[in-house]
Structure 1
């Protein structure tokens, strides 16, 4: 088993030593060939964490933080100041609506995300759409929705952009291949063109969603559910373009990354060549519970089956 922490229901679970420095826990500068829980007890906690984004400058982290059942989700950030990571704070543009799936522009001064906030002055709309906000000193500007070429009355999720500005996202549309597909909209002359579904090397009649696209548009990592080679609740797959510019058949990343639970929300930090993703994997044995305290320890541990963020070297999965 690649990654396992076993709870003991018979003896008291030992707490981690006091964290003297978050910088020691939140390490974005090095990577490892074995899977690790990212920022344990600081970022990855008993709550639901997903959708990590690291600024191009490496001095800010933004991710989605939700309650146990994701009834409330918001974007939170940590900043690296004076050799330490600050405590997580809700972004000034988040906290009222369901805000998820952040993605930085190439220079780090624009943040894209998905939200169910009212759109186009229509307060009846509760579908998810793609928005962006520009950095203004230490805050973010009032979010602006992408136009209706991208945002429809159905859901649009998980924006990911290339250096050229092309936008990849998840949606369910009549011109798609499956029940949920990955689309791309070419950015040309300052405008987004009509989105097109990715080919059958990526999309299938099943579920494909939450894709990370490399800046040069030659590599894509995404999740799919229901495939014959899947391990359970949804697996991460990879595809790269061949010499002719066509996507190769997508490949399951295997047990080094995937579990029997949902594994999704990929992100690559190219500076450290680290691969991050979210997983709902659970670590639990079947020992009989003797005390209520044991149940509380399970519920209040990061590996309680709710979302956490994991990290492994990019080269180990290529």
Structure 2
């Protein structure tokens, strides 16, 4: 009887651990110091950036880029509790695609692409969407149209539960440089873009915002602000009880680094902040001579100055 009870306990512990560890393709959960996310899967020394995970927790999309070639959205799927390897997203692989994000119900992905509206000639970057069919497969991408998209670039969509669409614009809706706007959802589409207030946007540049699905906080990248740590830092603004955005506060070091820190994403349970950084790992600061193998590792492994995906424990009091 004791042996049977022990076996049942071990089976429960094993099953519980397997379930909890399969939430993300990384069993090494972070603390208050950022660490590489899913090393060897989503973070492998290539220029990997931005992140979204389905509400069911079974699909991850992220971007891999190359300066001379293109930008592709990759998909990692979890099947029977086991995460697979990255593969090309079914709607990517031809044009420059990036910055996918799920709708609240998980049936639509919004993303950025320079694919043409007609013909084969790429255009500027627009926001597109692709929906899941009754068979569970992703369909054909649809451009969000001229209310959202302009003849300049639009980037980094983020969608609230009510359908309001936040994104980065180069068009003249804001206060200077790139700015963050919102297109409120309407019965027949979207209202015209509204620039977020000066608590968020400034005369320099703001970009790549993640909005809380309940629109209670927003995390975004900004450049050239007083007190900056790197070439781009992460900031967070919250709404007060009256629903007014409060002046954004810079996230602390070591979340912000001397590199570029951007593309924020907060998990649905609000436990983790996942973001992109091109920070160099500490071995680059050494004045010690390196061997050929050490040099090769420095330039091909994560932390080599290309974009990497990091995660850290989320603190709502930042």
Matches of 2:212 and 2:167, distance apart in 1: 13
- Alpha carbons of 1:178 and 1:122: their partners in 2 closer, same or farther (altered >3 Å)? farther
Match of 2:280 in 1: 282
Matches of 1:278 and 1:269, distance apart in 2: 14
Match of 1:145 in 2: 143
Match of 2:181 in 1: 183
Give the TM-score taking structure 2 as reference length. 0.87
- Alpha carbons of 1:94 and 1:185: their partners in 2 closer, same or farther (altered >3 Å)? same
CA deviation after TM superposition for structure 1 residue 139, in Å: 3.1
Match of 1:313 in 2: 313
Matches of 1:306 and 1:237, distance apart in 2: 22
- Alpha carbons of 1:98 and 1:125: their partners in 2 closer, same or farther (altered >3 Å)? closer
CA deviation after TM superposition for structure 1 residue 127, in Å: 0.5
Match of 2:130 in 1: 133
5+ long unaligned stretches in structure 1: 1-21
User: Mean Cα displacement is larger for which, 52-61 or 169-178?
Assistant: 169-178
Deviations 1:203-235 (A, max 9, x none): 000010000001111100000000012101100
RMSD over aligned CA atoms reads: 2.0
Larger relative helix fraction: 2
5+ long unaligned stretches in structure 2: 1-20
Deviations 1:226-259 (A, max 9, x none): 0012101100000001111111000000203100
Matches of 2:23 and 2:191, distance apart in 1: 44
The answer to whether the 8 A contact 1:31-1:272 is kept is: no
Match of 1:13 in 2: none
Matches of 2:68 and 2:239, distance apart in 1: 35
CA deviation after TM superposition for structure 1 residue 150, in Å: 0.5
The answer to whether the 8 A contact 2:153-2:171 is kept is: no
Deviations 1:156-211 (A, max 9, x none): 00000111101100002223101110001111113200101101000000010000
CA deviation after TM superposition for structure 1 residue 54, in Å: 0.8
Is the radius of gyration larger for structure 1 or structure 2?
2
Matches of 1:108 and 1:162, distance apart in 2: 12
Matches within 5 A, 1:1-318: 23=22, 26-27=25-26, 32-67=31-66, 69=67, 71-119=69-117, 121=118, 123-136=120-133, 137-271=135-269, 273-283=271-281, 284-315=284-315, 318=318
Q: Which has the higher contact order (CA 8 A, sep 6+)?
A: 1
The answer to whether the 8 A contact 1:160-1:169 is kept is: yes
Matches of 2:267 and 2:197, distance apart in 1: 26
